[in-house]
Amino acid sequence: MRFPQCKPYKRGKIMGLPLHGWLGILLAVIFWILNWSLSGLRTHWGFFPMWLGYCLTVDAIVCVRKGSSLLTRNPVAYAFLFIISIPSWWLFEFINGYTQNWHYEGRQSFTDLQYFLFSSLSFSTVMPAVFGTSELISTFKWTNTAKSGPKIIPRPILVLTIFIAGLLMFYLLLSWPLYFFPFVWVSVLFILEPLNVWLKNRSLFQYTAEGNWRPIISLCAGCLICGFFWEIWNFYSYPRWVYRVPFVDFLHVFEMPILGYGGYLPFSLELFALYHLIAGLLKPGKPRDFIQF
């Protein structure tokens, strides 16, 4: 099954959107209003459709700007993104069990099974949102300046060193989370990128080896934009998450300390590595060209 491809409009102006884009706008607006205006519990059922709306809207804009998008390129692979997102974010929830950097107000209103199901549904939107926004960022001309940069070639000794460093950081993170909690946003990347290289999955090294930093810039910027919307939409929702971040718990922008937004940059790279590790194991060679910068 393939969706019709979109014709880019001249000068990048969006004069119209595919149908799924208008559906996305409708979902995002309606559930944004509901999540902020209704009393009592509502975010547990409103988070997913609101973020599904965001994902569809961004995908449609990408489709208009470049002629194809994640959804129109491969609807099955796009749906698969939602599935892979669930265990990917649960990994970070597991780590947060040690660091306790965030917790959810309203958690007590759910049984363990309800919490797992509603949380998993919400977590499913993470990768589609980040990768869709990253593709959108890559359609802008200013990202072309990142096509030429320092070359980092994945030589065996470098890859092994990064992997060992990732394992060490992960150990320190779990053993002394009060001091090493920032490693959550680096250690996973350092472990997974070498694995992708060794398994011959797609990795960011294939770009840095050519001095092409455009995918990394697009991913970081895309995730930072998603981070802004995650935080603003969370602020007046319920249930919602709140932070307890040692040493940097000041100058909050919504619930997040301003320095905490820096974590969204490497988080995007971790998601990229997680997706290609899981998809590469399940469908060898298939996901290599799905995400396009």
Mean pLDDT, range 223-248, rounded to an integer: 95
Q: Which residues contact 277 (CB under 8 A, 6 or more apart)?
A: 192, 195, 196, 199, 201
- Does 270 fall in a domain? yes
Stretch (H or E) spanning 223: helix 214-235
pLDDT band at residue 285, thresholds of 50, 70 and 90? Answer: low
On whether residue 33 sits in a domain, the answer given is no
10 lies in a domain?
no
Distances (CA, A) of 94 to 91, 97, 99, 131, 264: 5, 5, 9, 23, 18
Whole domain around residue 216: which residue ranges? 74-289
Those residues with Cβ within 8 angstroms of residue 248's Cβ, 6 or more apart along the chain or in another chain: 257, 259, 260
- d(C-alpha 104, C-alpha 82), whole Å: 22
Chain segment 133-157, per-residue pLDDT in tens:
999 999 998 887 777 789 999 999 9
DSSP assigned state of 257: E
Strand ranges in 185-266 using DSSP code E only, listed in sequence order:
240-243, 252-253, 256-257
Render pLDDT for 184-218 as a digit per residue (tens, 0 to 9).
999 999 999 999 999 999 999 999 999 999 999 99
Query: For 111, what's the count of Cα atoms within 13 Å in the CB-facing half-sphere?
Result: 2
Residues 6 or more apart in contact with residue 151 via CB below 8 angstroms: 208, 209, 210, 211
Structure tokens, 205: 């090294």
In a domain, residue 172? The reply is yes
Q: Distance between CA 173 and CA 188 in Å, rounded?
A: 11
**If you average pLDDT over residues 230-247, what whole number do you get?**
95
203 occurs within a structural domain: yes
- Whether 22 and 217 have beta carbons less than 8 Å apart is answered as no
* 7 pLDDT above the threshold of 80: no
Q: Report helix, strand or coil for 248.
A: coil
pLDDT digit string (tens) for 25-72? 999 999 999 999 988 888 899 999 999 999 999 999 999 999 999 999
Burial of 108 (0-12, 13-18, 19+ CB in 10 A): exposed
Residue 39 lies in a domain: no
Which has more confidence, 286 or 282? 282
Residue at 58 is within a domain: no
The encoded tokens of residue 153 equal 């070639």
Of residues 35, 52, 29, the one with CA closest to residue 235 = 35
Q: Is the pLDDT of residue 9 over 50?
A: no
The total of structural domains in the chain comes to: 1
Please give the residue that has the higher pLDDT: either 168 or 141.
Answer: 168
Angle between helices 126-138 and 264-282 (to 10 degrees): 110
Average pLDDT over residues 160-182: 97
Q: What is the mean pLDDT of the chain?
A: 92
Strand, helix or coil for residue 224: helix
Residue 5: per-residue pLDDT:
57
Name the amino acid, one letter, at 250.
F
Distance CA 197, CA 231 (A): 34
Question: pLDDT of 77-116, one tens digit each?
Answer: 999 999 999 999 999 999 999 999 999 999 999 999 999 9
Q: How confident is the model at residue 10 (pLDDT cuts 50, 70, 90)?
A: very low
